[in-house]
Amino acid sequence: EKGGHDYFMLKEIAEQPQAVADTLLGRLTPRGQLRLDEMRLSDDELREIDKIIIIACGSAFYAGLTAKYAIEHWTRIPCEVELSSEFRYRDPILNRSTLVIAISQSGETMDTLMALRHAREQRARVLAICNTNGSTIPRESDAVLYTHAGPEVGVAATKTFLTQVVACYLIGLYLAQVRESKFGDEVAAEVDQLDRMPQAVEQALGTMEQIRSLARELATAKSVLFIGRHVGYPVALEGALKLKELAYMHAEAFAAGELKHGPIALIEEDLPVVVVVPPRGRDVLHDKIVSNVQEIRARGARTIVLAEEGDESVTPYADVLISLPKVPTLLQPLVATVPLQIFACELAMARGNDVDQPRNLAKSVTVE
């Protein structure tokens, strides 16, 4: 049942190209338009939205953080992302024109369920992104967009994370299409790029062997830092979370621009630092992060750099260079997360941990 893999998680990592393809299936039209019949919110209702709040926990929260960059860019609707467990205790400002997007793989996470009930009491519209048909969160929402990742057995989210990002992107592009936002004309080009993602994710799986030997070398490391910028920042957060969950290692992620405001004090000889470098298209950010890599390396840290294939600017400062397929910046999280999942999984195995059932964790947490 593990399809020849030692762990469900490895099987689920390998299934990601298919999971992404299945989540796109039937939702893209040949003319580069989106069809989201299941949205059950009318075009008029979608046009009234003036604020989006994404609520979620764990990896789903990082999928939401990633989506914020794309949704705001495409729709020009302000988008906040908040942990479900914090949301309803701070008296959030909600009304009829607020769209709350609740992301949950299981559809049963109590923190998210309580947050969505609070949102509905304040008359916000709630749209669920969920992987489990008929679960509580979609039943209590105004509409649902299912991720079609298939069952995920490993406790740590992998293919559901990627498909949550895809589902959020579909919603963002759909809103841009319906509202004819400034960006509306470009929807077709983005849809086309999204359609190519299963192959790109497949290519990212090609980093497996390289990461495996890296993980063996780092099995006794005390701590690993992750840095990224723009959508690479939530990728860094997700990479650090995977490492905590599976390898029980201290791991922290920072926005690369914050490094100089504190965390750089942590950099010391041999500390592994994983850096997510954006595609060269975004020159300013790309160059800034390359100088971060340089600074970190100069302080003796061991730099593990994820960068677009053919990007030679980082080669002199990378102890390990992991090549990512060439994709647009906003889609890079779908490929950059993959080696980080493998990294956490392999490190956990090298340390003798049960990857599918990490200690103290449950697949779905139905208490607050």
For 94, the token pair is: 């909600």
Pick the binder of ligand BG6 from 75, 98, 104, 332 (CB under 6 A).
Answer: 104
Nearest residue to ligand BG6 on Cβ basis: 58
Q: Determine the interface stretch with ligand BG6 among 20-28, 54-62, 118-126, 284-292 (rule: CB under 6 A).
A: 54-62
Is 256 a binding residue for ligand BG6 by CB under 6 A? The answer is: no
Distance of alpha carbon 162 from alpha carbon 334, whole angstroms: 6
Is 109 a binding residue for ligand BG6 by CB under 6 A? The answer is: yes
Is 58 a binding residue for ligand BG6 by CB under 6 A? The answer is: yes
Is 57 a binding residue for ligand BG6 by CB under 6 A? The answer is: yes
Specify whether the CB–CB gap between 346 and 211 falls below 8 A.
yes
Specify whether the CB–CB gap between 267 and 251 falls below 8 A.
no
**Interface with ligand BG6: number of residues (CB under 6 A):** 16
Distance of alpha carbon 84 from alpha carbon 62, whole angstroms: 12
- Classify residue 146 by its DSSP letter: E
Query: Minimal distance in Å, beta carbon 61 to ligand BG6?
Result: 8
Query: Minimal distance in Å, beta carbon 148 to ligand BG6?
Result: 15
Catalytic residues: 363
Query: Minimal distance in Å, beta carbon 109 to ligand BG6?
Result: 3
Is 243 a binding residue for ligand BG6 by CB under 6 A? The answer is: no
Pick the binder of ligand BG6 from 41, 79, 101, 157 (CB under 6 A).
Answer: 157
Pick the binder of ligand BG6 from 66, 75, 98, 106 (CB under 6 A).
Answer: 106
Distance of alpha carbon 123 from alpha carbon 203, whole angstroms: 44
Pick the binder of ligand BG6 from 41, 156, 271, 330 (CB under 6 A).
Answer: 156
Pick the binder of ligand BG6 from 66, 105, 141, 163 (CB under 6 A).
Answer: 105
Question: What does the per-residue mask of binding to ligand BG6 show for 303-342, with x meaning CB under 6 A?
Answer: ----------------------------------------
CB burial readout 242-266, b (16+ within 10 A) else e: bbbbbbebebbbbbbeebeeebeee
Q: Which amino acid is at 27?
A: R
Is 128 a binding residue for ligand BG6 by CB under 6 A? The answer is: no
Distance of alpha carbon 82 from alpha carbon 92, whole angstroms: 10
Among candidates 36, 77, 98, 102, which has minimal Cα distance to 176? 77
Pick the binder of ligand BG6 from 67, 99, 100, 155 (CB under 6 A).
Answer: 155
Distance of alpha carbon 107 from alpha carbon 163, whole angstroms: 14
The residues, any chain, with a CB within 8 Å of residue 220's CB and separated by 6 or more, are: none
Pick the binder of ligand BG6 from 60, 115, 246, 349 (CB under 6 A).
Answer: 60
Specify whether the CB–CB gap between 218 and 272 falls below 8 A.
yes
Q: Which residues here bind ligand BG6, judged by CB under 6 A?
A: 57-60, 104-106, 109, 112, 155-157, 361-362, 364-365
